[in-house]
Every structure is written in structure tokens, then in C-alpha cells.
A = this chain, B = another copy of it.
Amino acid sequence: MLYEHRTHHCFAAAIGDGGLTEPTYRLLIEDAAPAIQQLRDDRNSGALPMLRLPGRRDDLEALQPLAARLRDDFDDVVLLGTGGSSLGGQTVAALADYPFSQRKGPHLHFMDNVDPHTIDAMLAALDMTKTAFLVVSKSGGTAETLSQFIACLSTARAAVGEAGLADRFILITQPGDSVLRRMGARWKLPILDHDPAIGGRFSVLSLVGMLPTMVAGVDPFEVRRGAESVLQETLGAHEPGESAPAVGAAISVGLLREHGIGTTVLMPYIDRLGHFGLWYRQLWAESLGKDGKGTTPIRAMGTVDQHSQLQLYLDGPRDKMYSLVTLAADGRGPRVDPALADDPSLDYLAGRTIGDLMAAEQKATGETLYRNGRPTREFALADLDAAAMGALLMHFMLETIIAARLLSVDPFDQPAVEEGKVRAREHLAKIAT
């Protein structure tokens, strides 16, 4: 496996009263069997096309010339889109595109907000002759994305003329009539199809996530290979306990049911997984948070949040479960030169690497949490590469779908967000131009 899912310290047998009891767990893991059967059926029937993506290569091969052109011809590539249109690409691209990275290719920017200050600054800072835009809206009608798109189109047209737009703007939206598609036709811009049966928060393995991934220089085939390995483990499981995502879902729902644990903290100890935490937040919150149900995801970051949130986690209310994502960091990074660390109180650091310190911190925090009766699991990675990223993505997508089935909610809808969109249009209509 590309990760090891260590769940021992979520159970009462290991951590006492705060943990999940065996009978509740057994009940829930048995309930996961029909959810897994449903996944098998959906993969076979094609009802959930996201489950077929990991095994596909043709669509990625078709994208390669475009990705190569974006990498070769531009200094900056800006993705306009929000929520599921943006988070997947950000998550995987971060493998190559992190602070101080010196990779080749254009700078990637994800404009997922409509802060006028930021957009003014972006349009002033970028050279429109050397900038390309990916405009992503599944519905083709997202107000934020459309307003960004029109603002960028105005600025780019002034810089490169109408003839230059088709090279610089690429639209991704579902088939069928929409305002984005009509605008694309009007300006003769290339339009790529967003699969209408893949919701934004499950779209990371589709072109929505994979095109930015390719622009960043990360191998999308490896991402899918990692995802496929996790999917096969679950689809091929003889019993649900062999599926790591099913085990995770049963633990999470069980802790909610037994202990009212309504908050779930995802805490990676790897900077490059910072966006992963944000992607997970949407996936979990939007899939499960309905009908008064669901648990609240929190994105934490080790070791940073040990200096910010650990006091609350250890000594505050017992309403959280913890998922650490750790990396075998021993021996990595710069070594603490013993000649500089010659102070006796630095003996514990002298000659160690920064990675040794990270490894010790990961281990210590996990221990401190579970020894204080806090249910804690670990996703242990030997390496964080494209395949491991794909494995994590698929784990959490499957865990979310199975948890939704255990909670009896539909993982694929988001009925409550429409009201806010309608109200926003009403308010906008009232503002005098």
C-alpha cells in the first residue's frame, strides 16, 4: 500500500473511555458492506464516472499537447474558478509548486475569490501577453467565475487584441447550453467538457484537477495509479474491514454516535499537503453536512498547530477525532551541525536532521493525543509522491461516500447552498450601476 492506515488508537480497548467500542464498530463496518457493493455496481454501470477515471489514460493523453503548450508558451497560468473547480488542482499541483520550489514552467495562480483588491493587483502584476487563463465552472453559470472571466477578458483583449484570446483562454464546463459556453463560442475560445456526472468536489482526478497538475509538472498517470490501487482494495474487499476507507468511515460515524464526536481534525505533517486539507474540508463538509447531520472538518497543520491548537485539542472539550498524515522524515533535510550546537542543552538536537525532529514531533503528538484519551489515527507515508497523493485522494473520496451511506445522507448533492446564490443575485440587482 502507498500509505498505512493505523487506527488502533481510535478504540476504547487502546485509549479507554474516549474510544470507540468494538460492538458499535462491528455494527457499522457491517453496514458498510452494502455501501461497497453500491460502489461496485456504480463502477460497473458507469453511474459514478469518477470511479472509472483512475483506470483511464486516453483522456490524459489527449490533454498532453495543451499542457505542453501552456508550459512552454506562458510565464503565468491563472485558474479562474472556486470550490471544487479549484481545490483539486491546487492540491495536486502543490507537489511541485510549493514555496521556494525551482521547477520549470509557468507560475500557477488559483484565483478562487472575488476580492476586488486582489484581482486589481493580479491584473496589474501579470503581463497579459505571457498569461493564460483556465476558466472552470461546471454549471457554466458561477457568478464569481464569470465576473473574473469577463474582467480578465477585457484586460487581455486590450493587450493582445481579439485574435490573441483563443490562445490564452481555455474554458472547462459541462456540455449543454450555459452562459459560459455561449461566451466561449462568441469569442471563439477552446472549450473542454466537464463530465456532468462528476460533481466539483469529486472532480480532482478529471481534467479539472489533472490539467493544472500537468502544467505544474506532476505526472497525472501516477496520481491515477495511486488512486486506482486504493479503489481496487475497496472494490475487491471480501469483507468491509479489508477496505481502509470503510474502516475509516465506520470509526468516524461510530465516534459520532457513541461519543458525540462532531469534529474531525485532519493534520498533515507535510507542508505540501496544506491544500490537501482544504480540499478535504470541502469534500467532507459538503457531502455529509445536511439534514442536521455531518461532522465538522478542521484543517490543521503539524508541527505549526502544535503551537496553536494543541492546548485546545488536549485539554478542551472531548469532541474531536484526529487524523495525522505523517511522512517517514528521518534523516531528511539539513543536519544540525554539532559544532554549532555545542551547547549542552542542545545535545538532543546536535547531529540530528530537521527531518529527525519532524519524525519525533509527529510521533510525540500522536502519543500525547491518544494517551490523553483522544481518538487518533495515522496515515503513514513512506514518501509523498504523485502516487501517494492519488492514494490519499481516493481514500478520502471513498471514506466520505461510505460515511454518507452510514449516516443516510446523499453524498453527491448540496441542497442548501442555492438560497445564498439567489439572495446574492437579488442584492446585486439592487445596487445602482
> Which of chain B's residues has its CB closest to A430's CB?
B360
Which residues of the partner chain B approach A45 to less than 8 Å between Cβ atoms?
none
> Any chain B CB within 8 A of the CB of A416?
yes
Per-residue B-contact encoding for A119-138, CB less than 8 Å = 1, 0 else: 11111111000000000000
Within 8 A of B (CB), among A415-429: 415-417, 419-421, 423-429
Per-residue B-contact encoding for A313-350, CB less than 8 Å = 1, 0 else: 11111111000000001101111110011010110111
Q: Judging by beta carbons under 8 Å apart, are A312 and B294 in contact? A: yes
Q: Judging by beta carbons under 8 Å apart, are A116 and B312 in contact? A: no
Q: Judging by beta carbons under 8 Å apart, are B113 and A334 in contact? A: no
Contact of A150 among B317, B336, B428 (CB under 8 A): B336
Within 8 A of B (CB), among A336-369: 336-337, 340-341, 343, 345-346, 348-361, 363-365, 367-368
> Any chain B CB within 8 A of the CB of A147?
yes
Q: Judging by beta carbons under 8 Å apart, are A292 and B318 in contact? A: yes
Q: Are A334 and B119 CB-contacts (below 8 A) given A357-B143, A364-B424?
A: yes
Which residues of the partner chain B approach A360 to less than 8 Å between Cβ atoms?
424-425, 427-428, 431
Q: Judging by beta carbons under 8 Å apart, are B285 and A312 in contact? A: yes
> Any chain B CB within 8 A of the CB of A271?
yes
Q: How far is the CB of A218 from chain B (nearest CB, A)?
A: 15
User: How many residues of A are counted as interface, with CB atoms below 8 angstroms from the partner's CB atoms?
Assistant: 128
Which residues of the partner chain B approach A122 to less than 8 Å between Cβ atoms?
99-100
> Which of chain B's residues has its CB closest to A306's CB?
B420
Q: Judging by beta carbons under 8 Å apart, are A309 and B285 in contact? A: yes
Q: Judging by beta carbons under 8 Å apart, are B82 and A304 in contact? A: yes
Give A115 to B326 CA distance when docked, in angstroms: 11
Q: Judging by beta carbons under 8 Å apart, are B118 and A100 in contact? A: yes
Give A402 to B154 CA distance when docked, in angstroms: 50
Q: Are A304 and B354 CB-contacts (below 8 A) given A309-B281, A311-B285?
A: no
Q: Judging by beta carbons under 8 Å apart, are B340 and A144 in contact? A: no
> Any chain B CB within 8 A of the CB of A24?
no
Within 8 A of B (CB), among A289-320: 289-296, 298, 301, 303-304, 306-320
Q: Judging by beta carbons under 8 Å apart, are B82 and A98 in contact? A: no
Q: Judging by beta carbons under 8 Å apart, are A349 and B428 in contact? A: yes
> Any chain B CB within 8 A of the CB of A179?
yes
Give A310 to B424 CA distance when docked, in angstroms: 14
Which residues of the partner chain B approach A147 to less than 8 Å between Cβ atoms?
336, 349, 352, 354, 357
Contact of A364 among B116, B312, B423 (CB under 8 A): B423
Give A281 to B298 CA distance when docked, in angstroms: 11
8 new A-B contacts at CB < 8 Å, known A83-B308, A143-B357, A183-B340: A144-B357, A150-B337, A286-B312, A289-B316, A290-B311, A352-B428, A364-B424, A368-B419
List A residues at the B interface (Cβ < 8 Å): 82-84, 87, 98-102, 109, 112-126, 141, 143-144, 146-148, 150-151, 153-155, 179, 182-183, 200, 262-263, 269-272, 278, 281-282, 285-286, 288-296, 298, 301, 303-304, 306-320, 329-330, 332-337, 340-341, 343, 345-346, 348-361, 363-365, 367-368, 372, 414-417, 419-421, 423-429, 431, 433
Nearest first, the 4 closest Cβ-Cβ pairs linking A and B are: A116-B333, A289-B312, A83-B307, A289-B316
